[in-house]
Amino acid sequence: MRCAIVGSGLAALAGYVTLRHAGVPAGEIAVFGTDEDPVERWSERAAAIRQERMRSESDGHLAAASFPGLALREAVRRGRVQALLQTTANRYHPSVGDFVAHARRVTQRSGWASSFVPRRVERVRAVAGGFELDGEGPFAHVLLATGHPGLARIPGAVHAYEPHEYAAKVAVVGSGMAAATEWLNALAAGSEVVSLRRRAPVRRQLNVPRAYFSQRGLASYHRLRDHARAAALEDLAQPSYPTGRAWDAPIDAALRDGRFSVRRGGSDPGLTPGPDFQVICATGFRKGWAEDALLSDLVEAHGLETHGRFIVLADDSTVPALTDDTRTLSIAGVAGQWAFPAADTIAGAKYAGRAFRRHVCRTR
């Protein structure tokens, strides 16, 4: 086997599908991970917050080719021309159910199961001929897609991304997409809701401003020096959720009825959960390479360049010190933000996957 993918979530699937579409045989790729179904963990978290629509748009799909998008697929499958009209105005957001079904079709057709190796990789080392994974190899090309390093928790609180119901009074810690979804869920369940937040959320349709998904916007970002790039990433990390009546109308009505209020504070809400009172932690995930055991070990073993919580990558998502004309080490997913600000989106996973494919195919 010439290629290895470490991780078994959506970013790993995007990288795998991209390689297969380029003609790399399944027998040349090993996928090391803990989840045979790459969609399962994401869909469980989406179900926990009762998410119904994707934040991404028509091009937020896992197929290797950009065309056709999810809007056209839905229009053909259901005869729903409205989907095409919505996508021309950037107002189309596929349902979670449609996205999950699409992802599972892609998984099945790609040959993922024949390449999957149920094993958690704990160590990556550069050796002659490529990289060893826990002593196995060498693999000439390795894509690290380890995902988020874990949930950011608060003692005594239930996490939004784990199954839960709603008490009569609910305090939601956080102000991003998950938090906003939980406000609406709890209000719909008849709860009184307190929003506990450090700062007001940014309102934008996508995870990062739309310009960062364009070649021009990305080129401007890539021209930033290290300190400016790190500052830009920290600014983009501010909690955000979309604009629109579907989000605002229920909150406005609850404010008028006295069922929704905002309280400023830190991560410790200073409130004690009880039978009729519940604290929901909607603060997302732990952040940074140091929180990921495999990445932390890799950085320390090879002295990789970092900047704060970010691993410094080349603009094509590769690790410069460990990539040359004969071998490739790339990082996809949230840990690849230095190369692509929205690395934890499907678009970001495909950006890293396509760059990885170019390295692989150049040396085959």
Q: What is the pLDDT of residues 34-86, one digit of tens each?
A: 999 999 999 999 999 999 999 999 999 999 999 999 999 999 988 888 998 89
> If you ran DSSP here, which 8-state letter would residue 12 be given?
H
CA distance 311 to 289: 7
CA distance 63 to 65: 6
| pLDDT for residue 16 | 98
| pLDDT for residue 266 | 56
- What are the DSSP calls for 87-146, one per residue? HHTT----BHHHHHHHHHHHHHHHTHHHHEEE-----EEEETTEEEETTEEEESEEEE--
User: What are the structural domains of the chain?
Assistant: 3-150+286-363 (3.50.50.60), 158-281 (3.50.50)
Distances (CA, A) of 41 to 59, 233, 332, 346: 22, 26, 17, 15
Q: What is the pLDDT of residues 173-232, one digit of tens each?
A: 999 999 999 999 999 999 999 999 999 999 999 999 999 999 999 999 999 999 999 999
**Does the bond joining 275 to the residue before it have cis omega, within 30 degrees of 0?**
no
Mapped onto helix, strand or coil, the DSSP state of residue 31 is strand
Give pTM, 2 decimals. Answer: 0.94
H helix runs in the chain, sequence order: 10-21, 40-48, 70-78, 82-88, 96-110, 112-115, 177-188, 215-222, 226-236, 245-257, 293-302, 346-363
| pLDDT for residue 172 | 97
| Mean pLDDT, the chain, integer | 95
Q: Please give the structure tokens belonging to residue 142.
A: 């390795």
197 phi and psi, to 5 degrees? -145, 155
